[in-house]
Chain A
């Protein structure tokens, strides 16, 4: 198992009371699988993603990522773990506006202190079809192009698991389809585990497994083999 979530609960203070966003959620994710977490707004999807990726701390329960319990890890250890094993794709791309496309993709490798980061980043940008936009700043790119940069950045350090938060949420229909296709293609090529949080049922249907959340709890957990076959696996 690459990811184990056990009885995960997250509460936020809200005025004098506390608001339970996630309530005892448990599941396991297999290495190399593709998974979607769906649910209505406010069901706790993004919170779950943040906790699973070690961006936030749970109120109770635990997350085990690649065999390591995240609870006892310090912020620094979490950062190191993310840098080595985790990739992110955000709804609003979250590119650093002051860096060019190439520099944005290089960041995870640079943080790691690796060699040949420029070549690797250039190669990935070419794979996402942006070989001619390397030195453009995010503001000079369209939404679809920005999300492709974000995909290249997510894959550049060859993560074991990739978390995508509404990766097509800010894109129009056509671009959305192209980006989704790219996401799954890269995922397949790199053999990464994928966890997508989305409203988009079409996107969710491309994954092997769909976990549905409602009011902070798992409402259903379904696997669809046919989609797996459709995606060319197995």
Chain B
């Protein structure tokens, strides 16, 4: 009967099912892709590290390290990595790069992918270099060209496509260059203050268990200032990142699915209202309430199953595009295959959502009286108003969302937070819709032209779908606009760095004897020396009387490891910078005091859990220096200049080994390139960081991440449009009748078009206005409190996008209504009879 009853409406039913399609597609594509990621991670786990075990640290590897690894190392390789300026003689260009000097047969698992392939092995045989593909393209380099690092020139042997475990995007701040380790000395680049990292890659015996070894030797490794990484730890680290991504994306998918559910509910509501005479007739001829209800429940379930199947297929197809979307963000290769478990999961979730949401309009059908068959028109109040079963369904939907969120996030806090947040957005959209409708009613513009008034009034008239459509359009718009606003806030913040008059080029690793000539060279180019800052590297030795090792061993107090282990790069001066202000204590402190008075940045003081008067002992390259916290400073880090955790007073560190940083500003990229070329030529050990390039890299990462978010946000908006289409298609019968009546009474086509256009315009405009306001609040709050960036300025793109959505709603609405005016009025009025 369910099948027979659907006979004349199958096409329309198919349209209803579309709203669930995108939600399921989003979920399936995300889940299937994650499954592929996990499989890829598992399969390539060893090549993620290229070795079984890696030790790395800031100091050259000592015999103690050799002793540590000797018992289990079957094979080893060494890498010295540091930043440096590279000069390309053929192209007259310079660029800050990340040099990786290799000795040994790294990687033991997986391979360096190069073009030509032979270069991966060949570069180890002489003064050859491998360059990141992006760098080759940037400078238009080809194998055979040369690259100069410090005093040494290398021949480029090939371009580097991938390195086990490296994700290219995150190397954007310094392209990778591989050279043989034995030439590092000849470059002359490692000097005082050079930030060098030394690593040893180890291939172990098959029987060796790295985890147990690390656990047993924790203190010894920590004492050697080494960081250890195993295949397992890298896998877990990547796995965690992937899981977070998966969770976040699944929640976005859920939003699309819920919107789809709302679409199903709306469509079924309108569909079944037309079916009331049929149901009443069925009741007259002896169908029970349960039987007639089951007919439509079966139709809804069939619809959900069809929609979910189509969604699954679409999801599998979309999944193919995800590697492109995520390109540069995932550090290993992902083989795309269909994860059937994800498809099945998507199917059941889609079916469950369809049936649950469809139950809301279906349950009241049980109360239809057979008497209605004798009346020409049913009335909304013929249906029972308060139905406990409907309330139960609402509760079940709540439980469905909450359990999905909890299962996906595996965290009560995040799961409940998501649930509450979603409820809040729904409530805000609904509340805003209700408020708007009330305001429009109260302050109705009675002087407007008839068509506009009619269109506006349609929003609050009986059987209106305003609230549902506000959800459908508003949610996606809100989501996309919020992402956009946060992104623009971050970009505003980035732009603030490079504002006019602000420093945009830093030269670092300047040795003490180079300060004067370098400053002169800068001035000779017509550029200002905005600052020349001395930097002394040191490590924290003790807090109060407790040595660092002991603090590290008992970190119950919650002091983070990075703050204890890091190399502190401190400066000395007696005046504050413009970006600093004293929060507590005195600066520079009392020179007569027993210990050296230092100033701590407030964040690091919090991390180390120290305050005014506390003692800190630093190891300044072998010499113990006892200091006391004399002041706490607040620092505005969001400036492109040197900022410090610890500032010493003058008169203490002057004779310590140190290097200097020079800050300047260039007005054009050409001037910047010119200065960098001159510096590299005369002082090869000095590196330059060009703010413009950094900002470009950050913007590129940001735009990749925001593309992923927009990609998924678009699902929500598209689902909203489909819900809109479904709702409009369902209401078409009523509209056709209304416009037939208007035409009978002499309404012209343009008048009816105007009324329809006005209605869709107001609907779209209200939904967009509300979501725009909500997005401003949400985007503003996220920017201010989470990213600590300025309140976003919507600029012109956000309003243009919002207007675009309004135009889309009007177009979709009118497109959907085009047939309404085609049928002669008599035909429609007759159909009524």
Contact = CB atoms under 8 A, between A and B. Distances in A.
B744 interface: yes
B748 A79 contact: yes
Interface stretch (B162-170, B323-331, B336-344, B460-468): B460-468
B379 interface: yes
Contacts of A111: 450, 742, 745-748, 751
A119 interface: no
Which of A76, A111, A157 lies at the interface centre, i.e. has the most chain B CB atoms within 10 A of its CB? Answer: A111
Contacts of A76: 748-749
Contacts, number: 82
A66 interface: no
Interface in B370-428: 376-377, 379-381
A23 interface: no
Contacts of B538: none
Contacts of B454: 110
Given A46-B830, A94-B829, A111-B751, A137 B462 contact: yes
Interface string A100-134: 00010001101111000000000000000000000
B741 A139 contact: no
Nearest to A47: B826
A107 B745 contact: yes
Contact of B744 (A88, A98, A99, A103): A88
A92 B381 contact: no
Contacts of B556: none
B531 interface: no
Contact of B748 (A46, A80, A139): A80
Nearest to B454: A110
Interface in A160-193: 170
Given A82-B745, A83-B746, A96 B462 contact: no
B462 A139 contact: yes
B824 interface: yes
A56 B743 CA distance: 12
Contact of A113 (B377, B450, B749, B824): B450
A111 B462 CA distance: 21
A99 B747 contact: no
B833 interface: yes
B735 to A, nearest CB: 10
B462 A94 contact: no
Contacts of B734: 97-98
A107 B742 contact: yes
Given A50-B826, A111-B751, A113-B450, A88 B463 contact: no
A91 interface: yes
B825 interface: yes
A97 B826 contact: no
A79 B464 contact: no
A142 B742 CA distance: 23
Contacts of B92: none
B381 A82 contact: no
B320 interface: no
A82 B450 contact: no
Nearest to B743: A79
B269 to A, nearest CB: 16
Interface string A63-91: 00000000000011001111110101011
A55 interface: yes
Nearest to B750: A76
Contact of B738 (A79, A96, A112, A139): A96
B826 A92 contact: no
Contact of A139 (B381, B751, B833): B381
B824 A56 contact: yes
Contacts of B457: 103
Which of B381, B746, B826 lies at the interface centre, i.e. has the most chain A CB atoms within 10 A of its CB? Answer: B746
Interface residues of B, number: 33
A94 B380 CA distance: 17
A92 B833 contact: yes
Nearest to A166: B833
Contacts of B462: 97-98, 137, 139
A86 B746 CA distance: 9
Given A79-B748, A107-B745, A98 B464 contact: yes
A41 B777 CA distance: 65
A75 B461 contact: no
Contacts of A83: 745-747
Interface in B737-776: 738, 741-749, 751
Contacts of A139: 379-381, 462
B744 A55 contact: yes
Contacts of B461: 98-99
A98 B747 contact: no
Contacts of B450: 110-111, 113
B458 interface: yes
Interface in B447-463: 450, 454, 457-458, 461-463
Which of A80, A88, A107, A108 lies at the interface centre, i.e. has the most chain B CB atoms within 10 A of its CB? Answer: A107
B67 interface: no
A31 B569 CA distance: 104
A170 B464 contact: no
Contacts of B670: none
A97 B463 contact: yes
Contacts of B832: 92, 94
Contacts of B458: 98
A79 B380 contact: no
Interface in B72-120: none
A103 B454 CA distance: 10
Nearest to A117: B450
A148 B457 CA distance: 24
Nearest to B827: A56
Nearest to A77: B748
Given A97-B462, A98-B458, A80 B825 contact: no
A35 to B, nearest CB: 20
B748 to A, nearest CB: 5
B452 to A, nearest CB: 11
A97 B464 CA distance: 11
A108 B751 CA distance: 12
B833 A91 contact: yes
A79 B746 contact: yes
A84 B745 CA distance: 9
B156 to A, nearest CB: 74
A84 B830 contact: no
Contact of A75 (B749, B751, B826): B749
B274 to A, nearest CB: 13
Given A46-B830, A55-B826, A90-B829, A84 B746 contact: yes
B401 to A, nearest CB: 33
A55 B825 contact: yes
A81 B45 CA distance: 81
A80 B738 contact: no
Contacts of A50: 826
Nearest to A113: B450
A65 B686 CA distance: 97
A98 B463 contact: yes
Nearest to A51: B826
A107 B755 CA distance: 12
A79 B450 CA distance: 17
A91 B827 CA distance: 15
B353 to A, nearest CB: 30
11 contacts: A55-B826, A56-B824, A76-B748, A80-B748, A82-B745, A94-B741, A96-B738, A98-B458, A98-B463, A110-B450, A139-B381
Given A83-B747, A111-B751, A137-B462, 12 more contacts: A56-B827, A76-B748, A79-B743, A80-B746, A90-B829, A92-B376, A96-B741, A97-B462, A97-B734, A98-B461, A111-B745, A153-B745
Closest 4 CB pairs of A and B: A83-B746, A98-B461, A110-B450, A55-B826
Interface of B: 376-377, 379-381, 450, 454, 457-458, 461-464, 734, 738, 741-749, 751, 824-827, 829-830, 832-833
Interface of A: 46, 50, 55-57, 75-76, 79-84, 86, 88, 90-92, 94, 96-99, 103, 107-108, 110-113, 137, 139, 153, 157, 170
